Amino acid sequence: MVVTETWYLVLSAGLFSIGLVGLLVRRNPLVMFMSIELMLNAVNISFVAFANALDDIVGLTAVFFVLVVAAAEVVVGLSIVVAVMRRRPALTADDLSSLKG
């Protein structure tokens, strides 16, 4: 039995689905952010699997960029969460509705 790239892709799909459920069900903004990180990691796994299977270095470059963009996104997102939650400490995602029409 050899570990083919299909195994990695199935694992990536499972991890993405778990992250998706976490994003949809949880209301704490920080846990929602962590679920987004899970989804980004799932995509990274599938990128590396494809880089190995298709013999292309671009997969690894894409992972590098995804990592950088994820870091930038977490920085900005958490600073927004901090800025909002300083005023309202017991916040959930449902309460962030001041832009509601």
Partner 1 sequence: MVDVIVFVVAGAIVLGGALGVVLNRNPVRGALSLIASLFGVAVLFVLQEAHFLALVQVVVYAGAIVVLFLFVIMLLGVDRSEDLSVEPLAGQRLAGVAMGVAMFTMALLGLFLSGRGGDEGAVALTGTRSVTQPLDETQPDIDQLAVDLFGRNVLAFQATALLLTIATVGAVVLVRNRGAEDLVIDEPGRAAS
Residue 70 CB, nearest approach to partner 1 (Å): 7
Residue 90 CB, nearest approach to partner 1 (Å): 5
Residue 101 CB, nearest approach to partner 1 (Å): 14
Whole-number Å distance between alpha carbons of 78 and 33: 8
- Residue closer to partner 1 by CB (options 3, 101) is 3
Whole-number Å distance between alpha carbons of 4 and 30: 35
- Residue closer to partner 1 by CB (options 9, 101) is 9
Whole-number Å distance between alpha carbons of 79 and 93: 15
- Residue closer to partner 1 by CB (options 90, 101) is 90
